[in-house]
Chain A
Amino acid sequence: QKEVEQNSGPLSVPEGAIASLNCTYSDRGSQSFFWYRQYSGKSPELIMFIYSNGDKEDGRFTAQLNKASQYVSLLIRDSQPSDSATYLCAVSSWGKLQFGAGTQVVVTP
């Protein structure tokens, strides 16, 4: 059974602080790793993807991948109330995505 695990939260983060989201996966053959943001009632929106070990930064977001530990994380710096959403970790094997259950993030003013 291939699995993608995330803490469901909610993760409460003060405005301006760093939100740290974690994800582990079981399929060592996974090739690409994605973080999506989903607002209630909306479709998932791609934030970042990463496929090499290490860090990848894009604006206030940093994705970190450690394939040996089968671990991928997302850091959100300077968190804003508009970052309040559910964050979905997804793992791809030949284009097919397997999703975690999502972590709800609540940024408090």
Chain B
Amino acid sequence: SAVISQKPSRDICQRGTSLTIQCQVDSQVTMMFWYRQQPGQSLTLIATANQGSEATYESGFVIDKFPISRPNLTFSTLTVSNMSPEDSSIYLCSVEEGDGGTEAFFGQGTRLTVV
């Protein structure tokens, strides 16, 4: 299975600032996914990141708030911009493996607290 490293593992940030989260995979993958887990909630997909193209955002998420980069097949970043306390969540990077996405794995997550 793919090994996914995510940095930072946690951070406390001031409102109005931005944080960039990095996701590194130990193998080349076509698609990388970014999820958010708000306190006490399940995971929600933010966007899908393909190498060499713009990320595709889910309803309720916009590029200005969550810009994503995907410079190569093993790396992606998610930026949480102009943060507010409502952005306090765990942010997770995920990749798929296998035909038809038969396995999906997560990084260890970034626990973000906005004060």
Contact = CB atoms under 8 A, between A and B. Distances in A.
Interface of A: 31-32, 34, 36, 41-46, 49, 51, 88, 90, 92, 94-102
Nearest to B48: A96
A88 B43 contact: yes
Interface in B59-100: 90, 92, 94, 96, 100
Interface residues of B, number: 25
18 contacts: A31-B100, A32-B101, A32-B103, A41-B111, A43-B106, A43-B108, A44-B92, A45-B106, A46-B104, A49-B104, A51-B100, A94-B100, A95-B33, A95-B48, A95-B101, A97-B43, A97-B94, A98-B45
Interface string B44-65: 1100100000000000000000
A34 B100 CA distance: 13
A101 B105 CA distance: 18
A96 B102 contact: no
A99 B90 CA distance: 15
Nearest to B108: A43
Given A31-B100, A51-B100, A96-B33, A43 B42 contact: no
